[in-house]
Amino acid sequence: MSGLVLNNVTKEFGTFTAVNNVELTVPHGTFVCLLGPSGCGKTTLLRMIAGLDLPTDGAIRLDDKDITKVPTHQRELGMVFQSLALFPHLTVGENIAYPLRIRGRAKEEQKKRVEELLAMIHLSGYADRPVSKLSGGQRQRVAIARALSISPKLFLLDEPLSALDAKLREAMQVELRQLQQKLGITTIVVTHDQREAMTMADTVVVMSKGEIRQAASPIEIYRRPADTFVADFIGSTNLLEAEADSAGRVTVLGQPVSGVSLGAGVSKATLSIRPEDIHLTAPGNGALAGTVTFVRDLGGTIETFVDIAGRQIVAVSTPRARPEVAVGQPVGVMLLPDVCVVLAK
Amino acid sequence: MRREAPQKLGDYGPLFFPAMMLIVFFVVPFATMIAVSFFQRQQGGFYVPAFVFSNYERFLSLFFANVLGFSLMLAITVAICCVLLAVPFTYLLTRMARKVQIVWLVALLSVLSLSEVIIGFAWSTLFSRTAGITNLLVMMGVMSEAKALLPSFGAVLTGMVYQAFPYTVLVLYPALVRLDPTLTEAARTLGASPIRAFFTVVVPALRNTITATLIMVFIFALGSYLLPQLLGRPQHWTLSVLITDQAIYQSNMPFAAAMAVFLVLVTLGLVALTVMAGRKGEAA
Amino acid sequence: MTGALSKVYFFLIGVFLALPMIVVAGVSVNEKQTLAFPPKGFSLSWYGEIFLNPEWRNALFASLTLAILSAAVAVAIALPLAWFLWRRIAPWANIFQLLGIAPFTLPPVITALGLLTFWATTGFYGQPWTAVVSHAIFFVTLPLVTLSLGFTAIDRSLVEAAATMGADDRTIFRTVVLPLILPYIVSGYAFAFVLSLNEYIVAYMTVGFTMETLPIKIFNALRYGYTPTMASVTILFVATAAVIFSLVARFGDLPKLLGAMSSDDT
């Protein structure tokens, strides 16, 4: 099939396994985010796709061709580095033209392409500026334009927006996604920012300790996390231990709940319930009994902290549905079966 | 491009020329010199291959012990003078505006690059009777009559400190530039005067740097071969001067080579000793 | 330290560094061929003498030729070595780095004597080109140190970026590495050039009997009779060094070259 396929890709540095047995398929034209905490192996994985590191084991295929050992410069890539890696001795235009220049394209063609790309990144007329005279956001755009100047088969970005301030970063995320959709280019972005991944990706690949924990669409990852790590890493959640007896009756934190099933023959599991899915009511009526410990009113949302048997649970509600609670008062926590995600222990 | 160990023979290509040059023109000459130090000297400045220790046996004399002792003493004195002068100087220099620093650095480099011949000539002029500093003092009425200040130990020492001072500053410079300025600022906020802060914070923080610099300047001063000749009396001649003298004027290559080998060993030995002492001091 | 005290200190150091040169400059403009300070009369003829007197002129040309060639050879040795050590992971190759730094660190008499025995043994003693090789080895340390420093200053992601854009090793060297390392090549060359111009003992021991460089000429003049030309040559040398190092400072980052952190990472 066309696209990028990773088979059993493993990278060891001495005795440390940075990437362990990764299987991943990236269909042509999709936008994939490699997401995970620092040290999870996402950058190493990206560098292997770029050929900047060699896998210890496994194969990388691009459009049905094995590129595992193909040198970086023959892979027809575009890559944006975390440091951006703009050449300080070249101007904006010369940076963008670099891939064309070393391929020996005609001067006229280089010039035309640079102008196209500068227009695309809204920096027309900047060709002769030195890169040192640009702002952070402008440098970012130049790095992107340079990576795209040969219309690469793969567009790789390593934490591309990490140097920008929060506001600019959010704007760039939208811009980058729109650009990718317009060009239809296969794109892989490494990030540790889950908001960034949710904003841009078709497929989010959550990694931890060198392994892929889940690869799915952003909403699937959020709604149906594969395990407690993913549930906890993506957004915030309440993780509650649940037990089932032989009759299938479920207790959570020692209190019986109805309507929730852990699955046939499962006696212990963890329930993941997003804060916005927690419904606070009066005590009783099958709700878990707890005590309100703190209320954080952020204006747009209200976070209520509830203590149940020594465990802290967070519920988020909108001002319209402001719960009738007060610190120190007993409260009931309703677990609605359809929002509880059952995760294997 | 991955940074990795060389894969093919061709990857070693860039190393070929430098390695060849350094081996053929540095390692081999060094080995040749060691070999010659065991050769037998013939009449008329020639020598024949042999394996004799007679060149080294000549060290076992009072004269030689004196020369060695004086060389080491002189080099140590120069090193101490230079470090004492250069540490506060370099510290203050690194705290100055960049442009001022650059002017001083250019001046220091210019002096450092001066030939020993030129330094020797300049100081011998400065210490001479007819064109020396004493003429200035006479003009100012401090002295009644101009006089020559050389040859003397003081002249040798002055010349060598002059030669080694820029070197000392440039060795100290990187470490001092990197010294965290908030260290002294912290000491100041805790009530230390600037000079007190310098001695209680900067100097202790730089203890290892200062030791290393002392060694570097010591070796540098050991290498001085002309100043003792131009500014001093024969009793101020150092090992480096004797080596030159034996090699060129006495045409006794084996003995000169033996002394050179000996000088290398003494240098390396002292460096090793100091490094070991420094390690012990740190462990304690 | 307090401002006034440090100003006095800098002034005294400045006087100490400049005084010999002031006296020599004074001596160099004496009208008669006598060593006198303050100068008696004023004449620039001793500067003209450097170029008019064939002996001094030959020495000047010998020194310039030696410095130009030996600095070039020194850079030719240092550049591939520093590049290799930066480009590859080869810990054992650091031995060559050490070999490159040793000649300048050891007392110069040692290197000089080693080369003298070597040239005498191989039968090339006294040939002018042996001085070029000798100086190149003696001063290879300077370009090696500046170039090593220069390579560590190159962000490796620039090289990786060039590779992702399709540049092979050779193209990367030509289009990225070389332009970025060029200022360090120039300063390494400048350091080696100025020091070679001034070097005495190695030149003397290798070609001293067949060729006179300026430092050798000054030394011989010092032994066999004073002439104010020595003073004018000295001033010429100091001025040359100051001009070259000022140029290095003007076009490069001198504090960074001498081991300080980059000026632009504030």
Q: Mean pLDDT, consecutive 10-residue segments, chain C of 266 residues? A: 79 90 84 72 81 88 94 96 90 88 86 90 88 94 90 90 91 92 91 90 86 88 82 89 90 78 42
Tell me the residue type at B174.
P
Contact A85 C176 (CB under 8 A): no
**If residue C158 lies in a helix (H) or strand (E), which one and from where to where?**
helix C156-164
CA distance A54 to B146: 78
Residue that wins the pLDDT comparison between B45 and C189? C189
| pLDDT for the residue numbered A178 | 92
Angstrom distance (rounded) from CA B176 to CA B83: 13
Residue B18 CB: number of other CB atoms within 10 A?
A: 26
* Structural domain contains residue C161: yes
Global pTM? 0.84
- Range picked from A234-243, B185-194, C29-38 for highest mean pLDDT: A234-243
Element (H, E) at B31: helix B28-36
B88 and B165 Cβ atoms separated by less than 8 Å = no
User: Which B residues, 244 through 273, put their C-beta within 8 Å of a C-beta on chain C?
Assistant: 244, 247-248, 253, 256-257, 260, 263-264, 267
The residues with which A317 forms a beta bridge, in sequence order, are A302
Give yes or no: residues C117 and C168 share one domain: yes
Total domains in chain C come to 2
Q: Please tell me which residue, B189 or A230, carries the higher pLDDT value.
A: A230
Residues 6+ apart with CB under 8 A from A210: A11, A17, A18, A19, A20, A22, A40, A41
Lowest mean pLDDT among A35-49, A170-184, A330-344: A330-344
Domain of B72, in residue numbers? 61-283
Q: Would the pLDDT of A284 be above 60?
A: yes
In this structure, are C31 and C78 located in the same domain?
Answer: no
pLDDT at position A87 is 93
Residue B10 lies in a domain: no
Stretch among A295-299, B85-89, B178-182, B239-243 having the lowest mean pLDDT: B178-182
Round the average pLDDT of chain A to a whole number and report it.
90
> Is C263 domain-assigned?
no
**Residue B45: band (very low, low, confident or very high) from pLDDT cuts 50, 70, 90:** low
The answer to whether residues C245 and C168 belong to one domain is yes
Query: Which 8-state DSSP code applies to residue B232?
Result: S
CB contact under 8 A, C180 and A88: yes
Q: Provide the residue type at C254 as one letter.
A: L
Residues C60 and C32 in one domain: no
Pair (C95, C125) in one structural domain: yes
Task: Report yes or no on B94 lying in a domain.
Answer: yes
Name the average pLDDT for chain C.
86
Considering the domain architecture, whether residues C239 and C189 belong to the same structural domain is answered as yes
Q: Which residues of chain A from 90 to 109 reach within 8 Å of chain C, CB to CB? A: 98-99, 101-103
| Continuous H helices in chain A | 42-50, 92-101, 107-120, 136-148, 166-183, 194-200, 218-223, 228-233
State how far the Cα of B237 lies from the Cα of B249, in Å rounded to an integer. Answer: 15
Tell me whether residue C262 is in a domain.
no
User: In this predicted model, which residue has the larger pLDDT, B23 or A344?
Assistant: B23
Look-up: residue for tokens 């990576």?
A: A147
Picking from A46, A47, A72 by the largest number of C CB atoms within 10 A of its own CB, the best residue to mutate is: A72
* pLDDT at residue number B280: 59
pLDDT at residue B284 greater than cutoff 60: no
Range of the domain at C26: 1-43
C136 and C29 fall within a common domain: no
Contact A102 C161 (CB under 8 A): no
CATH number of the domain within which C170 lies: 1.10.3720.10
Q: A270 or B3: which carries more pLDDT confidence?
A: A270
Asked whether residue B44 is domain-assigned, the answer is no
pLDDT at residue A10, rounded to an integer: 94
DSSP A340: P
**For chain A, percent of residues with pLDDT exceeding 90:** 57
Q: Is the peptide bond before C103 cis (omega within 30 degrees of 0)?
A: no
The reply to whether C62 and C129 lie within a common domain is yes
Residue at B206 is within a domain: yes
Q: Which residues between 36 and 75 in chain B have a beta carbon less than 8 angstroms from any beta carbon of chain C?
A: 36
Backbone angles phi, psi at A270, to 5 degrees: -115, 135
The answer to whether residues C239 and C207 belong to one domain is yes
Interface check B278 vs C, CB under 8 A:
no
Whether residue C104 is contained in a domain is answered as yes
What is the DSSP track for B74-114? HHHHHHHHHHHHHHHHHHHHHTS-HHHHHHHHHHHHHHHTS
Same domain? For C218 and C147 the reply is yes
Question: Is C49 inside any structural domain?
Answer: no
Number of domains into which chain B is organized = 1
Question: What pLDDT does residue A288 have?
Answer: 86
How confident is the model at residue B135, as a pLDDT? 75
Q: Could you tell me which of A255, A252, A254 has the C-alpha nearest to residue A269?
A: A252
The verdict on C128 and C17 lying in the same domain is no
CATH number for the domain spanning B273: value is: 1.10.3720.10
Query: Are B244 and C263 within 8 A, CB to CB?
Result: no
Under an 8 A CB cutoff, do C164 and A150 touch? no
| Overall size of chain B counted in residues | 284
Please give the structure tokens belonging to residue A104. 């020996």
**Using CA atoms, how far apart are residues A127 and A104, in angstroms rounded to an integer?**
19
Under an 8 Å CB criterion, which residues of C touch A?
A: 155, 157-158, 160-168, 171, 175-176, 179-180
Chain-centroid distance, C-alpha B181: 30
- Please say if the pLDDT value at position B1 is more than 60: no
Is the interface score ipTM higher than 0.90? no
Between C159 and B207, the more confident residue is: C159
For chain A, the first-to-last Cα distance in angstroms comes to 36
DSSP B136: H
Interface of B with C in 88-147 (CB under 8 A): 88-89, 92, 94, 98, 101-102, 105-111, 113-126, 128, 130-133, 135, 139
Least confident of A129-138, B127-136, B249-258: B127-136
Predicted confidence band at B24 (pLDDT cuts at 50, 70, 90)? very high
Higher pLDDT, B153 or A345: B153
Q: Cβ separation of B89 and C103 shorter than 8 Å?
A: no
Contact A53 B2 (CB under 8 A): yes
Q: Which domains does chain A have, with CATH numbers?
A: 3-232 (3.40.50.300), 236-344 (2.40.50.100)
Per the model's pLDDT, the better-predicted residue between A263 and C151 turns out to be: C151
The mean pLDDT of A217-234, rounded to a whole number, is 91
Residues C15 and C60 in one domain: no
